Each structure stands twice: as structure tokens, then as C-alpha cells.
């Protein structure tokens, strides 16, 4: 027990969004959580979509997993996916705008299902699957992920305790310096740490922040901003973000698809710091594939809790 000495940062407690769940694994990153979920299935191989961050693929391979891939079509449906009984299938809740019923319908086809809710932190867990959530895409934390599902807390004693405070200065620097320069350099150090880590338990710092977060305000603001973005981008967006959306969805971003190769440059000049997702696919996918199309043209518009109509109007002016 430590008593006295200097004061540390303090947070409210008792608010952790997943704090009341049973059978939960608190881990260090989304990719580690996906591996943990795959381990829980006991399967011999795992199918993941081509349209997915390469860090997931690389981490699973580093852990010795037999990784296989499937395509998606323009409706985000799997193409020609017929897994064996000893194979797991990773289904992605893209952009956080896929409803519970949509995900339930997709996963019902597979015996061993893992749902990647990294882009959908508030999505309801499906009891028949393992559900993965990434905290730092929705809350200002240095790392952190959850796995929910029957027996998700198995194997946790195999993993070491994670620590994140040594590379979390970027969270404070963002407040004083903005997101460029010093803060960005610090953030990249944190990314480098995560890239080099194995599976570990969620850091005490991350859990402390998560336990003191006002989630209801985050939910309300993201839904409000997404709804507004749907209105003002409807005339230029080449995809329909509402096709699987319902009132329970809490989006990560607004997925804007414009067939304009110069748009990203204008966005960055205007200091809207979002990039094309997973551009590595441009070197790996057929130019006629939907994955290639998305990687080339999609720009995730920021709709998070820090902003409102003024900022979204500004982004629209850049477009």
C-alpha cells in the first residue's frame, strides 16, 4: 500500500461501459483481442476479410495462425465463403453502422463466429459469438480492448500485465500542442509500442480512464453528428451509409466515398486529419474489386464527440 507523496491524475469511477459484463477479457489491443477470440474457438484456421487492417493479418500470422481471406461485395456481404467446421470467421462491423440484426444475420451462417466491433464500441454483443471491441477508436486512451462471449475470460492467466503510461504523453500533448508535431511524434511512439507487443492484459491507466468516462454523452454526440453528416453528404456519397443502420448504432466515422483522387490532399491541407483506410490493398487487390475501390476512394469523415455541425460543415466545404 502506498500513502502520501504527490497527487496523480484523478478520474471518476464506476462508469466502465463493459464493467458490468460477465465473461469479459480486458486486453491491450484489438488485434490481440481477435487472436484471443480465435484461441477461444479452438479452431484450426480463421477467415478474415481482405478489407481489414493489415496489422490484424500480420499479428495473427506472427502468432502462428492459419489465416485465410474472403472478399466482400458492394453490399459488404462475404463472397464465396464456405468455411469448414474447424474454421473461424471474422465478421467486421464496418464504420460502426451495421445493426445488431445485420450482424446476427451474417454470423448465423457460420459455426465459429468472431465479430470485430473495433469500429463499433457500443454495439450489443451477440451471445452466440465472441465479440471484440477496441477502446481507443472511441475514447482518449493509449490502448485497450475487450473480448465478450461465453468463457471469454479463459486463458487470461497466460498473459502478462500491460503498461501504457510510458508512451501515453501524446494524450496530454494533444491538449497543449494540437495533433501535429510533438504530439504526433509521441503518438507514433505509442503505435510502435503496440505494434511490437504480444498479447497482454489491459493497462491500469487505460482501465482507469475507461472507468471514468461519460459514455452517454459520447453516444449522443456521435449519433447526432452522423445524422447531420448523412444529410449534407448525401448528394456526393457513392455509397449509402444507412443501408444497415438503425437507432442503436453508434458510428465511429461517416464513410464518404467520392471518386476524386485529389480530395484527400484537399482534406489534409484543410487540416482534416483522416486518410484512406488500408491503402496497402491498392498494391494487393484487383483494380476491379470492391476492396480496391474502397481503399482508393473512401475518406472516413470525423463525427466524434469533440465536434459538431460547425466542423462537419467545414469538412463539407472542403469536398
Task: List the chain pLDDT tens, one digit each, 319 residues.
Answer: 778 878 888 888 899 998 666 689 999 999 999 999 999 999 999 999 999 999 999 999 999 999 999 999 999 999 989 999 999 999 999 999 999 999 999 999 999 999 999 999 999 999 999 999 999 999 999 999 999 999 999 999 999 999 999 999 999 999 999 888 999 999 999 999 999 999 999 999 999 999 999 999 999 999 999 999 999 999 999 999 999 999 999 999 999 999 999 999 998 899 888 888 899 999 999 999 999 999 999 999 999 999 999 999 999 999 9
Q: What is the model's pLDDT at position 3? A: 80
Give all strands of the β-sheet with 78-79 in edge-to-edge order: 24-27, 145-148, 130-134, 113-117, 87-92, 45-49, 66-72, 78-79
Cell readout for 267 is: 482534406
**Cβ 261 vs Cβ 296: under 8 Å:** yes
Residues whose CB falls within 8 Å of the CB of residue 112, separated by 6 or more in sequence, listed in order: 41, 43, 83, 85, 86, 87, 88, 89
**Cβ 43 vs Cβ 83: under 8 Å:** no
Single pTM value for the model = 0.96
Q: What is the model's pLDDT at position 118? A: 97
Q: What is the model's pLDDT at position 20? A: 64
Q: What is the model's pLDDT at position 127? A: 92
Alpha carbons 188 and 168: distance in angstroms, whole number: 10
Q: What is the model's pLDDT at position 273? A: 84
Cell 454470423 sits on residue? 107
Domains in the chain (CATH in brackets) are 24-157 (3.40.640.10), 215-318 (3.90.1150.10)
Q: What is the model's pLDDT at position 21? A: 64
Amino acid at each position: 500500500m502506498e500513502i502520501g507523496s504527490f497527487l496523480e491524475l484523478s478520474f471518476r469511477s464506476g462508469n466502465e461501459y463493459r464493467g458490468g459484463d460477465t465473461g469479459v477479457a480486458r486486453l491491450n489491443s484489438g488485434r490481440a483481442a481477435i487472436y484471443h477470440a480465435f484461441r477461444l474457438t479452438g479452431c484450426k484456421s480463421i477467415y478474415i476479410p481482405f478489407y481489414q487492417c493489415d496489422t490484424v493479418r500480420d499479428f495473427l500470422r506472427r502468432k502462428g495462425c492459419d489465416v485465410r481471406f474472403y472478399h466482400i461485395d458492394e453490399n459488404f456481404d462475404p463472397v464465396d465463403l464456405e468455411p469448414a467446421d474447424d474454421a473461424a470467421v471474422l465478421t467486421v462491423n464496418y464504420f460502426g453502422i451495421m445493426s445488431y440484426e445485420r450482424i446476427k444475420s451474417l454470423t448465423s451462417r457460420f459455426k465459429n463466429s468472431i465479430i470485430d466491433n473495433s469500429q463499433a464500441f457500443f454495439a450489443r454483443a451477440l451471445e452466440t459469438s465472441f465479440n471484440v471491441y477496441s477502446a481507443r477508436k472511441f475514447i482518449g486512451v493509449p490502448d485497450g480492448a475487450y473480448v465478450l462471449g461465453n468463457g471469454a475470460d479463459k486463458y487470461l492467466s497466460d498473459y502478462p500485465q500491460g503498461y501504457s503510461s510510458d508512451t501515453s504523453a501524446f494524450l496530454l500533448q494533444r491538449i497543449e500542442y494540437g495533433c501535429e508535431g510533438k504530439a504526433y511524434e509521441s503518438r507514433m511512439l505509442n503505435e510502435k509500442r503496440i505494434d511490437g507487443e504480444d498479447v497482454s492484459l489491459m493497462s491500469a491507466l487505460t482501465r482507469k480512464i475507461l472507468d471514468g468516462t461519460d459514455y452517454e454523452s459520447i453516444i449522443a454526440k456521435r449519433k447526432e453528428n452522423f445524422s447531420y453528416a448523412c444529410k449534407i453528404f448525401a448528394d456526393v456519397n457513392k455509397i449509402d451509409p444507412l443501408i444497415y443502420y438503425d437507432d442503436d448504432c453508434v458510428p465511429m466515422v461517416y464513410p464518404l466515398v467520392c471518386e476524386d483522387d485529389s480530395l484527400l490532399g484537399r482534406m489534409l491541407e484543410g487540416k482534416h486529419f483522416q486518410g484512406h483506410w488500408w491503402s496497402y490493398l491498392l498494391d494487393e487487390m484487383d483494380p476491379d474489386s470492391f476492396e480496391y475501390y474502397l481503399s482508393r476512394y473512401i475518406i472516413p469523415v470525423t463525427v466524434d464527440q469533440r465536434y459538431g455541425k460547425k466542423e462537419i460543415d467545414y469538412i463539407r466545404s472542403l469536398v
